[in-house]
Structure 1
Amino acid sequence: MDSLPAAVASALAEADSETTDWPARRQALTAVSAELQSLLVTRAGPELVALAEDVVTQLAAAATTIRRHRVELAELAHQVLGTHARACAAARPDPVRLADWLLDLQLRHPEAPDVGLAAYSEALDDEGLAHYRDRAVALFEPLPVIGFGETGRYDRARWALLRVMEELAEYTEDVDLQLLVLTKDLSSGWHYLQVATVLRDSGRSGEALEWVHRGLGAVGGRGAATRLLDLAVEEHLRRGTPQQAVEVCREAFVARPSLDVYLKIRALVVHTDDWPPLRAQLVEHLVRDGGRLAVEVYRRIVEVELARRGIEEQDLLVEWLEQLRGLQPDAFADYLDHIRSRHAADRQLLDELTRRGF
């Protein structure tokens, strides 16, 4: 039993050399793992716990330094760690010391096998798990947040801590831990959406909406903006505040006009008295903007309203077309031909356009 760590050290010596007989060394390491498993039946106790820790540590360190055989060494370390968990369940070592060992294994050897806390639930008990959590959080909290648009730099230390925290959050089902992990990386709008979704799903609607607004401010109408808006609208409608759903969409439209956002607003208020003045406000913003993007959005809005027969007041249609002619006088004739072609079967519309000088 006492010779097993030495056998591991011998098998790992110069294992990365091209001249080394790796299959023979791998077989020796596999034999050590098998011997440790057999000791669970005959020698389960504190000595086996310490022995397994020694072997796991050697294999985890080797998986980091011996790149040629990293996968096989990590798999062997995983097998021995499973033996260690079963030995701990039987021997019940000091839970605080066990928590420290599990954390140190992962932080000192990022290539170490993943530690599944469920396998150590009995051995850690409440005391050990609390110590594990407190120490992990104390190490994780000072890490800098990756801001919007920044490239995440996941060095070995950060990656190891992230893996520890993700497993801890999943095992404990602690939403606050999950949020602590997620809010360390806000490099894209999708990360804001993740945070808002977790908050929404956990019943923290107000906080979810706060993160939606933060995300919308960061993305500027791009990337995850559509999904963020969808979540905001769903939550406001669920909370019985439809006007706020309209307002958040209006703000998004003003920040970056798009047909999708226009249609969201339209769907929310088209059957109310608020729609005509709000529609005029949105169109006025496009006219003031006057840029190429705004003109394209303007054109698509006109097409949508025509297709849905949403413009029943011919005067409004004429006003919109006149504004488009002022924005793009050189291209307006081609656009008007496009409208006539698409709506060739609508004689009433075509006659009205002709009568109005179009």
Structure 2
Amino acid sequence: MVATALAANQSAVESGPETGAFGRIRAHLTAKSADALVSMILELAERDPALFRKLDIASAGDSLDEKTLAARLSKAIDKATETRGHIGYDEAGGWAASVEEALDALDALDSKRDGLLLKLAERAIDRIESAIEWIDDSDGECGALLERARDIHVRAARGARPEPVTLARDLFHRELEDEYGCFENAAWLYADVLGEAGLAEYRRLATEAWEKLPPLTGGDRKKFEADYSGLSGILDRFADREGDVETRIALRAKDLSSQWKYFELAEFCLKHKGADEALRWAEEGLWTFEDVFAADLLLKAKRRGEAEAVLKRAFERSPDFNIYVHWGAAGGERARDQAIALIERRASGEPAPFFGHLADLGVKILMHDRQFDAAWAMTRKHRVSRTVKEGLARASEADHPREALEVYAERVDELAKAGGDPAYSEAAGLVARMGRLRAPAEQAAYVAALKERFHRKRNFMKLLEGRE
């Protein structure tokens, strides 16, 4: 069959396009009037239900008002995607063809209908996803239908230009809740529609959700249903866009729930930081899982003292938050006091083999145990990274508003000086957050001072005025 097709193709090339029967038919139809052609198509549609449905839906877009058209197309989508029970392999192709017809109708809508098309594409996506569990999709047709519906949605968004921040919120929730990858990498698929304001909101939502997740240690993944990989993937793409390797490492270091996670982190470090950093993470993974496994066995055998000793040695060899979580669970306050004492000694002396500032680990431990007074004392005594300090500010702002306000004010200045709409949006969000931590008069004086210092940053000024 392949050889015959190739020979036929070659024959067509040699003798010119559409020779034979198709050439005659084309010449015959070209000579007909438009009315005659319309009559022929209508006769065919009377005998072909699929053609009739396609023409019926396509013609509706030319004459119906938007409300009636929306109802007609919504009904077509619902009818095409209904399952009424399990659809076996032999029936799946027919079901998919029916959905294709409905998507053809959406694709045929005029660009003036892009606002309606956006809603209809979302309906189609939701209906297809709901139907998948009832279908034997061995040939992967549902995935292709979802991809096509998503592409229609992207096109409609480019034409309709919905409000960027609202679109960002919708796409973010769809990406996280999506089981079939339809909206994976949505921020960049829709980047031209989202613009800087939408992308900034997307990043803010991902960062806010990410900061609420606790670090994962060996064996902990089963305790949490949160989408670590989804959120870290979103934030990783933003960090990659800015060339921020340190943030990309920190994202990967938050989920070290398996030896494979350590391996992935080591592999990333080898590519971006060099062999020494990669080897450190690889060795830590081996130590962590060996020591934690041994300690868990000792705890099950009711040999708590020996388990604490194993975890203490592991922490002393390589101070690590994941090991501390297990040590703290076994040893309580005594373990925390010993861990902090070790960090204090090493932070005051020579650098220890720990990613970032060693005091970061101490603050994380104290935050984990909700010892916020001690955590703030450590930030004043030792060098602590901005990310950890901001995390502490958010976690303890109710009890330590003054300290949190100082951290936020420092960050606002950094963002305002850096410039750019995403930075301005983040800064304005922090300013609004600060307003909830102090009296209105004090906040008004702070905003007035900001405006005086950064009055030339017009986009920043607009955001500040919009939040007053």
* TM-score under structure 1 length normalisation: 0.50
Q: Which letter does structure 1 place at the counterpart of 2:157?
A: C
1:158 counterpart residue number:
226
In the alignment, what sits opposite 2:175? 106
For the residue of structure 2 that corresponds to 1:75, the secondary structure is: helix
Contact 1:147 1:185 in 2 (8 A): yes
Partner of 2:107: 37
Give the superposition deviation at 1:120: 0.8
Equivalent residue for 2:190, pick from 112, 120, 134: 120
- Count, aligned residues: 221
- Which letter maps to 1:115? E
Q: Deviations over 1:194-245 (max 9, x none)?
A: 3344345444999767645633532559xxxxxxxxxxxxxxxxxxxxxxxx
Q: What secondary structure sits across from 2:190 in the alignment?
A: helix
Task: For residue 128 of structure 1, report the CA deviation from its aligned partner.
Answer: 0.9
2:236 is matched with which residue: 169, 176, 191? 169
Cα shift at 1:83: 1.4
Does the alignment pair 1:89 with 2:158? yes
Give the Cα separation in 1 of the matches to 2:266 and 2:181. 32
User: Does residue 6 of the first structure (1) align with residue 62 of the second (2)?
Assistant: no
Task: Return the alpha-carbon distance in structure 2 between the equivalents of residues 92 and 58 of structure 1.
Answer: 24
Alpha-carbon shift at residue 30 of structure 1 (Å): 0.6
Aligned to 2:122: 53
Q: Determine if the alignment matches structure 1 residue 72 to structure 2 residue 125.
A: no
Q: Is the 8 A contact 1:102 1:115 kept in 2?
A: no
User: What residue number does 2:37 align with?
Assistant: none
Displacement, 1:95?
A: 1.0
Q: What's the CA shift for 1:127?
A: 1.1
Counterparts of 1:107-256 in structure 2, within 5 Å, are: 107-116=176-185, 117-148=187-218, 150=219, 152-153=221-222, 158-159=226-227, 162-170=229-237, 172-173=239-240, 174-175=244-245, 178-199=248-269, 201-203=271-273, 211=281, 214-215=284-285, 217-219=287-289
Name the aligned partner's letter for residue 49 of structure 1.
L
| Uncovered stretches (5+) of structure 1, i.e. residues with no partner | 222-246, 248-358
Partners in 1 of 2:239 and 2:276 — Cα distance?
Answer: 24
CA shift for structure 1 position 29? 0.8
Which residue in 2 is equivalent to 1:349?
Answer: none
Asked whether the equivalents of residues 30 and 76 of structure 1 are also in contact (C-alpha less than 8 Å), the reply is: yes
Contact 1:106 1:112 in 2 (8 A): yes
CA distance in 2, matches of 1:180, 1:100: 25
Q: Is the 8 A contact 2:100 2:145 kept in 1?
A: yes
Q: Report the alpha carbon displacement of residue 171 of structure 1 after superposing the two structures with TM.
A: 5.7
Relative distance call for 1:176 and 1:112 in structure 2 (3 A) is same
The secondary structure found in structure 2 opposite 1:131 is helix
Please tell me whether the aligned partners of residues 174 and 183 of structure 2 are also in contact (alpha carbons under 8 angstroms): no
Distance 1:115 1:44, change over 3 A: farther
Rate the CA distance shift 1:48–1:195 in 2: closer, same or farther, 3 A.
same
Q: Distance in 2 between matches of 1:205 and 1:52?
A: 48
| Structure-2 separation of matches of 1:17 and 1:209 | 51
One-letter amino acid matched to 1:138? E
Task: Give aligned-pair identity as a percent.
Answer: 24
CA drift at 1:172: 5.0
C-alpha contact 1:57 1:105 (8 A) present in aligned 2: no
SS in 2 for 1:143: coil
- 8 Å Cα contact 2:203-2:238 kept in structure 1: no
Residue 6 of structure 1: how far off its partner (Å): 1.9
The answer on whether the counterparts of 1:145 and 1:185 sit within 8 Å (CA) in structure 2 is yes
Partner of 2:213, secondary structure, is coil
C-alpha displacement of 1:94? 0.8
For residues 284 and 82 of structure 2, what CA distance do their matches in structure 1 show?
54
Contact 1:60 1:112 in 2 (8 A): no
8 Å Cα contact 2:255/2:261 also seen in 1: yes
Which protein shows a greater Rg? Answer: 1
Which amino acid is the alignment partner of residue 236 of structure 2? A
Write the deviation string for residues 289-343 of structure 1: whole angstroms up to 9, x where unpaired: xxxxxxxxxxxxxxxxxxxxxxxxxxxxxxxxxxxxxxxxxxxxxxxxxxxxxxx
Cα deviation, 1:41-100, whole Å, max 9, x if unaligned, reads 54353222222222222222333x435348433321221111111221232211111111
Per-residue deviation, 1:154: 9.1
Letter paired with 2:136: R
Letter paired with 2:126: T
TM (normalized to structure 2)? 0.40
CA distance in 2, matches of 1:158, 1:5: 33
- Deviations along 1:173-208, one digit per CA (max 9) or x if unpaired, are 154553354224323444234334434544499976
The aligned amino acid for 2:217 is G
Distance 1:5 1:32 in 2: 9
Asked if residue 26 in structure 1 is aligned to residue 96 in structure 2, the reply is yes
Structure 2 CA distance for partners of 1:147 and 1:165, relative to 1, 3 Å? closer
1:189–1:215 contact (8 Å) kept in structure 2: yes
Distance 1:144 1:134 in 2: 18
Alignment of 1:278-317 (within 5 A): none
Unaligned runs of 5+ in 2: 1-68, 292-352, 354-468
